[in-house]
Each structure stands twice: as structure tokens, then as C-alpha cells.
């Protein structure tokens, strides 16, 4: 890593933190329903949408109705994506004449995009028509993100309301998240990305006659190249802003037409963390104490920054075996150096590792470098960030409601220490909340570990592995960690486009998304019924540095206790192997 | 509501359940009515938002993109529309000694525009070491007198398989070979590298890099 990368990363944090308050305040206004600046343009559209759909925006829902609405809405989306993929051969906007997607792959992709995971067992440019990308995937990019934000807002209402059964109107929350937040930001980002060279067109791939010939698989000379096209920028903007991560092209944001320049890269990686970070401020504003929001953000950074530093160190040191062969991998002002296998020159080690940490801390999952070719410890960082439960930034909405569940566990543990009934923001935390919180925290690790054990027990699971030794196990563990936490990034060497993995990972993605939302909404409903208890001398303040450390500590502790044995078999064993291989 | 009621009765199975639970069908109806009340908005709202985010939004972006940035929106193609020679953003394979070589590509054929891919080889995979040794050997074969250390980006495959650029160090490493093969003075080749070197955006975003296709095209246009 050279000085350019160091400055880029420092500037990244400065700009990200500078945007937290303005965007957070804007989103708080959107969810309060107070004027936010775009009302004059968007309010008529919003009203028209409600009129067309027969939605009464002022009629509120209990948590059960909210959950049913959320599930139905997502189920319809899932079926629509499945149907479009299966029928794409007969539908328009298919200039490459691609056939229908196979049933298992179509199901996997539908679950993947409806659950905000965006795991991809296919390459977009050779599998999906422009119509499937636009009408199927781009739509789910918006709506799955809006669903996460809606559930967060409903949860916040549970914390702030007293003695009521209702936690808001799902239709309103989804519509407002989409219309006022995701759409305007995506439009601006999409145009900025096009200006850098991300394609946005509807023509077929363009044939090029290359300068010299190369040889194809049969050894015959070829002097043509096809430059892919498509409505990519519009999808990539929401892919990043909505923590979706599903690439328009197979290699995602490593593709030069998906992420052409350092500036497009910076904007995209900023967009990954932007809304999850700003929602912390929105939360603080909505509960009437912005310190509460900054506390959550500080806990996130307390876990994120050290892991980022570990990744930067590991990838900068690079592959010790290359040095033995007389390769120059030293960082200088003329080259990035470090481990460049699976990385692009325009990004180098610094911007690639920053992205790998951001995309897995947030449940985004897009990549600008191939994590499979990272050093063992460089690959451990994104894997662990997913295994921590996608609460360090996490998905838009879902990351913060996940962290709020951890906050409830944190006050519970603190309450146990001093022997008092725990409270969070004036709400007593009792047996029902703790049971539901335990479900939220235990379901993803169970899916990850049981799924990994299942996959390594079958030939079909092991046959997909493409790297020998501990790294082969890491490939499977990474895939389940990704699907079981709705991230979507991959150790992409694993051969996952088959019935075994398409089915297993679809179940993992579905379970960890929707079986988490239901207990979260149940807590929201239970808290909304309770009255606010006044702050007393025995109340644990949840806006102090002590609480920052307590919360981050519990997130790390739960994650570490659960996953250290599995990590020891994968990346840690591989790291020791690398040390012994390259020892003189 | 008639058909809905009968469905709920049908699902309860045996007639005894119908007889002893007079509240049972009523309860079932309520659930179904609620479901119906939820299903309609869910369906219509889904369709309306699909139109907004899946049709109106991408089309609006396309219109602005095509009007304001037409070259960038269509793949940043080089050359006239009848005879494109490449894209500014997508690399091409160069294996002849008289050209600058780009990053090794893991696609088949190399730099396959529709099949972008990394090698996904682990650092500990022996196949990676074999590939690197092979690349080192090839660079030494065409340039046997060059004893400088080989820059890492020339022997490692890119993430996309389409990386259009190499580091300035990697270009400098090849300068003497290209100059010799083309019978050009080294200073002229070095100067060309300088002309095609991009520094980090705003001085700190990304890495310094040399555009391989543009550099080779300008070498060819010297004659």
C-alpha cells in the first residue's frame, strides 16, 4: 500500500462521516412525514401511488399485519423475478437471444434478490436479458432495500411509542423509502457513473477487431472482441446504495464497464456504507437523542477499522512465495505492489481492501477484486465481517435493526451484572424480548455452520471446491457465511451453479432474511405496548463510550465464540501453511 | 365472499369440525378477508413500484446518459462506428514482443469481453505458482538480457480478466524490449509511456497507471 491508498482511505472516512448528519436528518424527515425538500415534486406521485393501490396511508398496522404485508409483498417480488427469468426467451429486450434460466438457478436468483442478498451463481452478460436485469433485478434492488428500511422504522416506532398496538403502515414505509430516499440518490449516482464510463444502453454487444490476434480454447487465432452493453449504470447505482451488491456483469465492480475509474470506485464504495451509516443518525433523531445514534455508529467503527487495518496489512505484505521468484511487489509511487492476483491496477491493494471490508461489513457483497485470491488473513477479514451477523453497518435498515437487537442483549447482560431489570431507551426488556432477540442472534450462525457441515458432508458439496487444502474449506464456509447473512459476496472459484448449491443457498438466504424479520417485528410490537419508564439512578446510559465498547464487545464475542473453530480450519490453517511453505 | 368461505370449509377437512366449531368458519373468513385486504395492495403496489423503479427510472437514466455522455454510455469505443478497434476501458491481449503486454487474463480466449473472470486461485494453490513461473519464463524469453525484477502486476491475473492498464513500473520494465524490437530510441518509448500515464485522480484516488491499448496504438501510429 502506498501513500495514495492511505490518503484515499482517510478521505473516505472523512467524507462518509460528513454525510451522516445531512442524509440522516433528511431520512428522519421522510419517515416523520415532515417536509424534506422533495415534497413538491414527489408528494403528488406518492399520493397517486396510494390511490392506485388502494392504500390508506393513515391506517396503521399491528406487528402481525405488518409482517404479513411484508412477507406477501416480498413473495410477490420473488415470484415475479422467477417468472421473468424463466420467460425471458419470449420477452423483449433480449438482443443477445438468451434462453430461459434453469429452474434451480432462477429460484436461487429470485430468493437472492428478494432477500437483499444478491448472491450470483451466474454471469449477467451471458445469462440474463436486459429485461430480466431491469424489470426483475433492478426492481428487487429497490424493494428489498426499502423493505429493510421499513422494518427498521417500524422497530424504531416500537421503541418510541407507548401503549399502542400499531407500529406503522408497511405500504407507506416501503413507498417513502423507495420514492424519497433510494430513487433520487440512485438517479444522481447512476448519472455520475455513466460520466465515468459505466454503460447505459439497450443495444447488443459491439464487435471489435482487436489490434493483434489471440488464441481461443482450441488454439485457433481470434481477432475479435465483444464489448458488452446494457442498462448497467441504473442498476449499479441502486446495487450499491441499497446494499444489494448484485453485479450487472459477472465480475461485478471489478469489470471495467461496471467500475471504470478510481472516481467511480470511490463513489461506489462510499455508496455502500452511506445509507447504513446515515441511518444511525436517523435513528438518533427519531428517538429524540442523536447521541444514541452516534453511539451505534461508533460501535460499528470500533469493529470495522481494526479489521480493515488487518486486511490492508495482509494484502500489502502479499504473497511471500512471489518474492522468492524475484518478483517486485514493493509499494512505491509507481506501483501499488502487494498481492495483485485478482486485483485491478487502477484500484491497487488499498482501494481493493477498503472495498472488501466495506462490502462485507455492510451486507452488500459486490466486489472490485476477487476475494478468493486474497491472502489467507486478507480473506479472513471479509468472512468474519459477514459472520458477525451483518450488524457492522449491515444491510440498509437490516444492519441497524440487527445492531439494535445486539444493543438489547447488551443492556440485558449489563442488567444481569448489577441485578436490575434492563431497559433500553426507557423500555423494559423482559423475557419475551430476550427470547426473540436470542432467535435473531442465533438463526444466522446456525444456518451458516449447519449449512457448511451439510455441504462438506456430500460429494456434491465438495466437488465444487477449486482450491486445495484449507482454502477449499474456506470456499464453502465463505459461501454459507455469505448466504446465511444475506451478504452475497463469494470466494468466486467455488462452482455453485448446480442444483445442490442453488437449493442449499436459496434456503439459507430465505431463512436468514425472513425468519429474522418476524422476531424483530414481534419485539417492535411488544415494545410499542409498553410505557416509557423514567430514567433513574440505576439506568444504564446507552450513549457513553462505555456502552460503545460493551456493544462492540458483545458483537465480537458472539461472533468469535461461534466461528473461531471454523475459521481455524479455514483461513487460519491456510495462513500457517503459507508461512511454513515460504519459510527458508 | 362465497367462494372464499367454501375454501376455508374445504380445508378444514371433516364435517365434524364444521359442526362443533361455529366460530371456526367465521374465524377463517376473517383471516381470508384480511389476507385479501393485504393481497390487493401488495399486488398493485408491487406493479406500480415495478413501473417506477424498473421502467421509468432506468429509462430516465438512459435518456440523460445518451444525451449528456453518449460515448461513455455506449462503451467508450475507439475508432469510427464502422470500424471500432477497441474500447478505452476494456483491455486487449498482446503477446508479441513489439507491443507492451497487459495484465495476464484468466479468461478464454484472453480478454474475452463477454466472459470476464479472475483466476480465483488461492495464494496457497500450487497452480498459481506454476502460472506465475510460466509468465516469468515468457517475459525472460522475449527479453533475455533484462535482469530487473519483474513488477507484480505483469505476472498476476487481474480480477476482471479485462484490466486495460498496467502500473508505470510494469511499463518501464518493458520499455527497452519494445524499443529494441521496433528499432526506436528508448527515450522516445519512455516519453510515450509518460504521455499515456494517468496519475491518481485528484492526486490520491486510485493508482498511477498506463493504458496499454492506447500506448500500443500510438506506437503503431508512429510509422
Kindly determine whether residue B113 and residue A227, on different chains, have CB atoms separated by under 8 Å. yes
Confidence of residue B28 (pLDDT cuts 50, 70, 90): low
List chain B residues with CB under 8 Å of A489.
none
Give helix A376-387 / helix A290-317 axis angle, nearest 10°.
160
pLDDT at residue B12 is higher than 60:
no
* Percent of chain A whose predicted confidence (pLDDT) is above 90: 92
Of the candidates B46, B68, B84, the beta carbon closest to that of A77 is on B46
User: How many whole angstroms from its chain centre is CA A274?
Assistant: 12
Kindly determine whether residue B55 and residue A376, on different chains, have CB atoms separated by under 8 Å. no
Per DSSP, the three-state class of A387 is: helix
pLDDT of residue B13: 37
Q: Is B31 on the interface with A (CB under 8 A)?
A: no
List chain B residues with CB under 8 Å of A176.
none
Confidence of residue A442 (pLDDT cuts 50, 70, 90): very high
Question: Is residue A170 within 8 Å of A74, Cβ to Cβ?
Answer: no
Write out pLDDT tens, residues A11-63: 999 999 999 999 999 999 999 999 988 989 999 999 999 999 999 999 999 99
Q: Which three cell numbers stand for residue A526?
A: 411488544
Write out pLDDT tens, residues A87-108: 999 999 999 899 999 999 999 9
* Between A353 and A40, residue with greater pLDDT: A353
Q: Chain B: nearest CA to A533, how far in angstroms?
A: 35
pLDDT at residue A378 is higher than 50:
yes
- Which 278-317 residues of chain A touch chain B by CB within 8 A? none
| Domain positions in chain B | 2-68, 78-220
- Which 147-176 residues of chain B touch chain A by CB within 8 A? 148-153, 155-170, 172
Q: Chain B: nearest CA to A478, how far in angstroms?
A: 13
Write out pLDDT tens, residues B111-128: 999 999 999 999 999 999
pLDDT at residue A214 is higher than 80:
yes
Question: Residue with C-alpha cell 429509462?
Answer: B59
For residue A154, being part of any structural domain is answered with yes
pLDDT of residue B17: 37
Per DSSP, the three-state class of A399 is: helix
The pair phi, psi for residue A227, each rounded to 5°, is -95, 115
List chain A residues with CB under 8 Å of B40.
53-54
- Which 185-204 residues of chain B touch chain A by CB within 8 A? 200-201, 203-204
Of the candidates B89, B111, B167, the beta carbon closest to that of A260 is on B89
Kindly determine whether residue A80 and residue B46, on different chains, have CB atoms separated by under 8 Å. yes
Q: Parallel, antiparallel, or unpaired for β B77-80 and B83-87?
A: antiparallel
Write out pLDDT tens, residues B93-115: 999 999 999 999 999 899 999 99
pLDDT at residue B63 is higher than 90:
yes
Q: Is B117 on the interface with A (CB under 8 A)?
A: yes
Q: Chain B: nearest CA to A404, how far in angstroms?
A: 28
pLDDT of residue A125: 86
| CA angle B65–A276–B118, rounded 5-degree value | 60
Nearest CA in chain A to B50: A139
pLDDT of residue A124: 87
Asked whether the whole model's pTM tops 0.90, one would answer: yes
Q: What is the mean pLDDT of residues A157-173?
A: 96
Q: What is the mean pLDDT of residues A442-452?
A: 96
pLDDT at residue A558 is higher than 80:
yes
List chain B residues with CB under 8 Å of A351.
205-207
Kindly determine whether residue A211 and residue B216, on different chains, have CB atoms separated by under 8 Å. yes
Report the residue of A124, A143, A208 to disrupt the B interface, i.e. the one with the largest count of B CBs within 10 Å: A208
**Buried b vs exposed e over B131-149: b needs ≥16 C-beta within 10 Å?**
bbeebbeebeeebeeeeee
Q: Is A363 on the interface with B (CB under 8 A)?
A: no
User: Using H for helix, E for strand and C for coil, what is the string for A198-233?
Assistant: CCECCCCCEEEEEEEEEECCCCCEEEEEEECCCEHH
- Which 440-479 residues of chain A touch chain B by CB within 8 A? 466-471, 474
pLDDT at residue B3 is higher than 90:
no
Confidence of residue B31 (pLDDT cuts 50, 70, 90): confident
Write out pLDDT tens, residues A479-494: 999 999 999 999 999 9
> How far, in Å, CA of A12 to CA of A2, rounded?
16
> How far, in Å, CA of A401 to CA of A394, rounded?
9
Instruction: Indicate the range of A194-203, A248-257, A537-546, B27-36 predicted with least confidence.
Output: B27-36
Of the candidates B45, B86, B113, the beta carbon closest to that of A205 is on B113
pLDDT at residue A463 is higher than 80:
yes
Kindly determine whether residue A344 and residue B69, on different chains, have CB atoms separated by under 8 Å. no
> How far, in Å, CA of B69 to CA of A200, rounded?
10
pLDDT at residue B23 is higher than 70:
no
pLDDT at residue B26 is higher than 50:
no
Compute CA distances B100 → A327, B155, B218, whole Å.
18, 14, 11
Confidence of residue B4 (pLDDT cuts 50, 70, 90): very low
Q: Which three cell numbers stand for residue B143?
A: 527479453
- Which 66-95 residues of chain B touch chain A by CB within 8 A? 66, 68-69, 72-77, 83-95
pLDDT of residue A429: 95
pLDDT at residue B210 is higher than 60:
yes
Q: Is A4 on the interface with B (CB under 8 A)?
A: yes
Q: What is the DSSP letter of A192?
A: H
Write out pLDDT tens, residues B73-98: 999 999 888 889 999 999 999 999 99
Q: What is the DSSP letter of A420?
A: S
Q: What is the DSSP letter of A62?
A: B
Q: What's the total number of domains in chain A?
A: 1
Instruction: Indicate the range of A10-24, A34-48, A275-289, A293-307 predicted with least confidence.
Output: A34-48
Write out pLDDT tens, residues A182-202: 999 999 999 999 999 999 999
ipTM at complex level:
0.94
Question: Is residue A217 within 8 Å of A227, Cβ to Cβ?
Answer: no
Task: Quickly list DSSP for chain B.
Answer: -HHHHHHHHHHH-SHHHHHH-THHHHHHHHHHHHHHHHHHHHHHHHHHHHHIIIIIHHHHHHHHHHHH-HHHHTT-EEEETTEEEEESSS-----STTS-------SSSTT-TT--------TT-HHHHHHHHHHHHHHHHH-TT--SPEEGGGTS--SSS---EE-HHHHHHHHHHHHHHHT--HHHHHHHHHHTEEPPBTTTBS--EEEHHHHHHHHHTT-
The residue range of the domain holding A243 is 38-268
Q: What is the DSSP letter of A166?
A: B
Kindly determine whether residue A325 and residue B133, on different chains, have CB atoms separated by under 8 Å. yes
Per DSSP, the three-state class of A558 is: helix
For residue A18, being part of any structural domain is answered with no
* Percent of chain A whose predicted confidence (pLDDT) is above 70: 100
Write out pLDDT tens, residues A405-420: 999 999 999 999 888 8
Per DSSP, the three-state class of A152 is: helix
Write out pLDDT tens, residues A311-331: 999 999 999 999 889 899 999
Enumerate the β-bridge partners of residue B211.
B165
User: How many whole angstroms from its chain centre is CA B70?
Assistant: 20
For residue A528, being part of any structural domain is answered with no
Where do runs of H (alpha helix) occur along A369-430? 376-387, 398-418
Confidence of residue A584 (pLDDT cuts 50, 70, 90): low
pLDDT of residue A434: 96
Question: Residue with C-alpha cell 367454501?
Answer: B6
Size of interface A-B (CB pairs under 8 A): 412
Q: Chain B: nearest CA to A47, how far in angstroms?
A: 12
For residue A242, being part of any structural domain is answered with yes
For residue A427, give the H/E element and its range.
strand A427-428
Compute CA distances A499 → A15, A100, A494, A505, A509, whole Å.
44, 16, 14, 10, 15
The mean pLDDT value of chain A amounts to: 95
Greatest pairwise CA separation for chain A in angstroms: 80
* Percent of chain B whose predicted confidence (pLDDT) is above 70: 87
pLDDT of residue B119: 96
List chain A residues with CB under 8 Å of B214.
none
> How far, in Å, CA of B1 to CA of B32, rounded?
9
pLDDT at residue B27 is higher than 60:
no
| CA angle B150–B154–B159, rounded 5-degree value | 145
Enumerate the β-bridge partners of residue A200.
A231
Kindly determine whether residue A123 and residue B61, on different chains, have CB atoms separated by under 8 Å. no
Q: Which three cell numbers stand for residue B66?
A: 445518451
Nearest to A517 by CA among A440, A403, A447, A448: A440
Q: Answer whether the bond into residue B109 is a cis peptide, omega within 30°.
A: yes
Q: Chain B: nearest CA to A444, how far in angstroms?
A: 26
> How far, in Å, CA of A452 to CA of A563, rounded?
12
Of the candidates A5, A233, A327, the beta carbon closest to that of B155 is on A327
- Which 50-89 residues of chain A touch chain B by CB within 8 A? 52-55, 65, 68-69, 72-73, 76-77, 80
Report the 10 Å Cβ neighbour count for A84: 24
Amino acid at each position: 500500500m502506498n501513500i495514495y491508498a492511505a490518503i484515499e482511505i482517510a478521505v473516505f472516512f472523512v467524507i462518509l462521516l460528513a454525510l451522516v448528519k445531512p442524509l440522516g436528518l433528511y431520512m428522519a424527515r421522510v419517515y416523520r412525514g415532515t417536509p424534506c425538500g422533495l415534497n413538491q415534486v414527489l408528494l403528488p406521485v406518492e399520493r397517486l401511488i396510494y390511490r392506485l393501490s388502494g392504500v390508506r396511508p393513515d391506517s396503521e398496522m399491528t406487528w402481525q399485519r405488518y409482517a404479513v404485508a411484508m412477507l406477501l409483498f416480498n413473495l410477490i417480488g420473488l415470484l415475479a423475478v422467477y417468472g421473468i427469468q424463466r420467460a425471458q426467451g419470449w420477452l423483449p429486450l433480449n438482443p443477445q437471444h438468451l434462453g430461459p434460466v434453469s429452474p434451480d438457478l432462477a429460484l436461487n436468483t429470485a430468493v437472492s434478490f428478494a432477500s437483499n442478498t444478491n448472491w450470483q451463481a451466474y454471469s449477467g452478460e451471458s445469462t440474463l436479458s436486459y429485461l430480466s436485469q431491469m424489470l426483475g433485478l433492478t426492481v428487487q434492488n429497490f424493494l428489498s432495500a426499502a423493505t429493510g428500511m421499513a422494518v427498521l422504522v417500524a422497530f424504531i416506532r416500537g421503541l418510541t411509542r407507548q401503549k399502542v398496538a400499531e407500529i406503522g403502515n408497511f405500504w407507506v414505509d416501503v413507498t417513502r423509502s423507495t420514492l424519497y430516499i433510494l430513487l433520487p440518490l440512485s438517479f444522481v449516482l447512476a448519472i455520475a457513473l455513466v460520466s465515468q464510463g459505466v454503460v447505459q444502453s439497450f443495444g447488443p454487444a459491439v464487435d471489435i477487431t482487436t489490434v493483434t490476434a489471440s488464441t481461443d480454447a482450441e488454439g485457433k487465432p481470434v481477432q475479435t472482441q465483444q464489448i458488452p452493453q446494457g442498462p448497467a449504470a441504473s442498476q449499479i447505482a441502486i446495487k450499491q446504495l441499497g446494499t444489494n451488491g448484485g453485479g450487472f456483469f459477472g465480475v461485478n465492480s471489478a469489470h471495467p464497464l461496471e467500475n471504470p475509474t478510481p472516481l467511480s470506485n470511490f463513489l461506489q464504495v462510499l455508496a455502500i456504507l452511506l445509507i447504513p451509516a446515515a441511518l444511525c443518525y436517523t435513528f438518533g433523531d427519531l428517538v429524540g437523542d442523536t447521541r444514541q445514534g452516534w453511539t451505534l455508529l461508533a460501535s460499528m467503527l470500533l469493529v470495522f477499522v481494526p479489521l480493515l487495518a488487518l486486511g490492508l496489512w495482509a494484502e500489502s505484505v502479499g504473497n511471500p512465495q512471489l518474492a522468492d521468484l524475484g518478483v517486485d511487489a514493493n509499494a512505491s509511487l509507481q506501483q501499488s505492489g502487494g498481492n495483485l492476483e485478482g486485483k485491478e491496477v487502477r484500484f491497487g491493494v488499498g482501494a481493493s481492501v477498503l472495498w472488501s471490508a466495506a462490502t462485507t461489513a455492510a451486507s452488500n457483497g459486490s466486489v472490485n477484486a476477487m476475494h478468493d485470491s486474497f491472502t489467507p488473513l486478507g480473506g479472513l477479514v471479509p468472512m468474519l465481517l459477514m459472520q458477525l451477523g451483518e450488524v457492522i453497518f449491515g444491510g440498509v435498515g437490516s444492519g441497524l435493526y440487527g445492531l439494535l437487537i445486539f444493543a438489547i442483549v447488551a443492556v440485558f447482560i449489563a442488567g444481569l451484572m448489577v441485578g436490575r431489570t434492563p431497559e433500553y431507551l426507557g423500555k423494559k426488556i423482559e423475557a419475551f424480548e430476550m427470547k426473540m432477540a436470542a432467535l435473531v442472534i442465533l438463526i444466522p450462525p446456525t444456518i451458516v455452520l449447519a449449512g457448511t457441515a451439510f455441504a462438506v458432508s456430500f460429494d456434491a458439496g465438495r466437488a465444487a471446491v477449486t482450491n486445495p487444502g484449507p482454502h477449499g474449506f474456506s470456499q464453502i464456509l465463505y459461501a454459507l457465511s455469505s448466504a446465511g447473512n444475506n451478504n452475497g459476496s463469494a470466494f468466486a472459484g467455488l462452482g455453485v451453479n448446480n442444483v445442490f448449491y442453488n437449493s442449499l443457498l436459496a434456503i439459507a438466504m430465505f431463512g436468514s432474511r425472513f425468519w429474522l424479520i418476524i422476531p424483530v417485528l414481534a419485539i417492535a410490537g411488544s415494545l410499542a405496548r409498553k410505557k416509557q419508564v423514567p430514567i433513574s439512578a440505576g439506568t444504564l446510559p446507552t450513549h457513553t463510550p462505555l456502552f460503545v465498547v460493551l456493544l462492540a464487545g458483545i458483537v465480537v464475542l458472539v461472533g468469535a465464540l461461534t466461528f473461531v473453530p471454523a475459521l481455524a480450519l479455514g483461513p487460519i490453517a491456510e495462513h500457517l501453511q503459507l508461512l511454513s511453505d515460504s519459510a527458508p | 365472499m362465497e367462494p372464499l368461505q367454501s375454501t376455508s370449509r374445504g380445508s378444514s377437512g371433516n364435517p365434524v369440525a364444521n359442526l362443533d366449531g361455529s366460530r371456526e368458519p367465521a374465524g377463517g373468513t376473517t383471516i381470508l378477508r384480511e389476507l385479501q385486504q393485504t393481497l390487493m395492495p401488495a399486488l398493485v403496489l408491487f406493479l406500480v413500484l415495478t413501473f417506477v423503479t424498473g421502467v421509468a427510472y432506468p429509462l430516465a437514466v438512459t435518456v440523460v446518459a445518451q444525451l449528456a455522455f453518449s460515448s461513455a454510455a455506449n462503451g467508450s469505443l475507439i475508432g469510427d462506428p464502422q470500424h471500432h478497434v477497441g474500447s478505452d476501458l476494456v483491455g486487449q491481449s498482446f503477446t508479441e514482443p513489439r507491443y507492451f503486454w497487459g495484465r495476464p487474463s484468466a479468461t478464454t480466449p484472453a480478454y474475452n469481453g463477454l466472459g470476464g473472470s479472475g483466476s480465483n486461485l488461492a495464494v496457497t494453490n500450487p497452480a498459481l505458482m506454476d502460472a506465475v513461473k510460466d509468465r516469468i519464463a515468457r517475459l525472460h524469453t522475449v527479453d533475455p538480457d533484462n535482469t530487473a525484477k519483474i513488477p507484480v502486476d505483469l505476472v498476476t491475473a487481474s480480477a476482471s480478466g479485462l484490466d486495460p492498464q498496467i502500473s508505470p513500473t510494469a511499463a518501464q520494465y518493458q520499455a527497452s524490449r519494445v524499443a529494441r524490437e521496433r528499432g526506436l530510441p528508448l527515450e522516445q518509448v519512455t516519453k510515450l509511456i509518460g504521455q499515456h500515464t494517468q496519475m491518481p485522480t485528484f492526486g490520491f484516488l486510485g493508482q498511477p497507471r498506463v493504458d496499454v491499448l492506447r500506448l500500443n496504438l500510438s506506437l503503431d501510429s508512429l510509422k
